[in-house]
């Protein structure tokens, strides 16, 4: 149990578009719970529109004023909020309106009970580290799941060199490379054959995307490693992109280096009491299910 009776007084609500139409009813329920506890709801712009609460607040205004952020949507919505709120140390609670949902683990029917419990201090906190990616002199960009170097708009492989802590690792020809946190190990890296990592590990996985040499296998290194990648060989840097959490695209120029390091501030995720990472994996990945006849 956590002493949050006076800790969470100003609750931000961040929502994504919901074509299935469940968003409005979910937000209304959240609003009722917060009103019943005489707590302040700070809506983002979409939430404010649906609940008729005025113009709403920007993510920067929410970060400066809230004690807790309730994210209503899928993992992508939570990833976006996590990148924006991480440096403010705002805890995040996820309500799943998406599909798979490894990070947003409260279902709409459980919202009232789960939110009351959290506001009374009954929750488990899970802290996840982020990566920061920097190309040349550009400002660094954050990623909670992964940083992906990949080919762009061509039907052939790219070639690049990888260095870890100033030590040369390899020159690789492939469709790209996924640099994944433990959080991201259930995302794109999983599809690429990478290892599943438990969230508390201080480790990063480097997962090749369709490598030309089959001996190029995923590598797991310490989270404090400094990873550097440069385009080489016949590859034109204009045919390469860098993507952070599947949402932010960066370009790389001739002579530039992609540098990936651990971000100094961690994301705070809140879960209902009894949350178990392996329960989530079994449920989401269908482990142990018998084949259907």
d(Cα 167, Cα 170) in Å, to the nearest integer? Answer: 10
d(Cα 93, Cα 13) in Å, to the nearest integer? Answer: 10
- Residue 3 annotated among the catalytic residues of the structure: no
* Residue spans of beta strands (DSSP E) within 105-263: 124-128, 131-135, 141-143, 146-151, 158-164, 167-174, 176-180, 203-209, 219-222, 227-231, 240-244, 248-251, 258-262
Q: How many helices (H) and strands (E) in the chain? A: 7, 18
Output phi, psi for 28, to 5 deg.
-65, -40
Which of 270, 265, 269 has the alpha carbon at shortest distance from 87? 265
d(Cα 192, Cα 228) in Å, to the nearest integer? Answer: 20
Q: Which of 3, 44, 67, 75 is catalytic?
A: 75
DSSP string, 80-114: HHHHHHGGGT--EEEEE-SSS-SS--B-GGGHHHH
Active site positions, annotated: 75
């Amino acid at each position: 149990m956590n002493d949050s009776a006076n800790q969470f007084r100003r609750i931000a609500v961040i929502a994504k578009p919901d074509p299935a139409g469940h968003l409005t009813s979910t937000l209304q329920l959240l609003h009722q719970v917060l009103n019943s506890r005489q707590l302040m709801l700070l809506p983002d712009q979409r939430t404010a529109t649906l609940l008729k609460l005025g113009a709403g607040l920007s993510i920067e205004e929410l970060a400066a004023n809230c004690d807790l952020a309730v994210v209503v949507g899928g993992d992508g919505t939570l990833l976006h909020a996590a990148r924006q709120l991480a440096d403010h140390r705002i805890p995040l609670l996820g309500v799943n309106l998406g599909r798979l949902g490894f990070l947003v683990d409260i279902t709409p029917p459980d919202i009232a009970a789960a939110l009351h419990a959290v506001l009374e201090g009954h929750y488990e906190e899970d802290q996840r580290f982020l990566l920061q990616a920097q190309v040349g002199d550009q400002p660094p960009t954050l990623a909670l799941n992964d940083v992906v170097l990949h080919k762009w708009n061509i039907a052939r492989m790219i070639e690049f060199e990888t260095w870890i802590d100033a030590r040369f690792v390899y020159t690789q020809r492939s469709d790209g490379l996924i640099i994944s946190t433990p959080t991201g190990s259930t995302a794109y890296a999983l599809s690429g054959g990478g290892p599943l990592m438990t969230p508390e590990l201080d480790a990063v996985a480097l997962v090749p995307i369709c490598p030309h040499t089959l001996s190029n296998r995923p590598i797991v290194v310490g989270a404090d490693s400094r990873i550097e990648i440069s385009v080489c060989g016949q590859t034109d840097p204009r045919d390469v992109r860098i993507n952070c959490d599947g949402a932010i695209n960066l370009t790389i120029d001739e002579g530039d280096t992609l540098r990936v390091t651990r971000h100094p501030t961690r994301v705070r995720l809140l879960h209902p009491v009894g949350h178990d990472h392996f329960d989530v994996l079994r449920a989401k990945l269908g482990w142990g299910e018998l084949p259907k006849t």
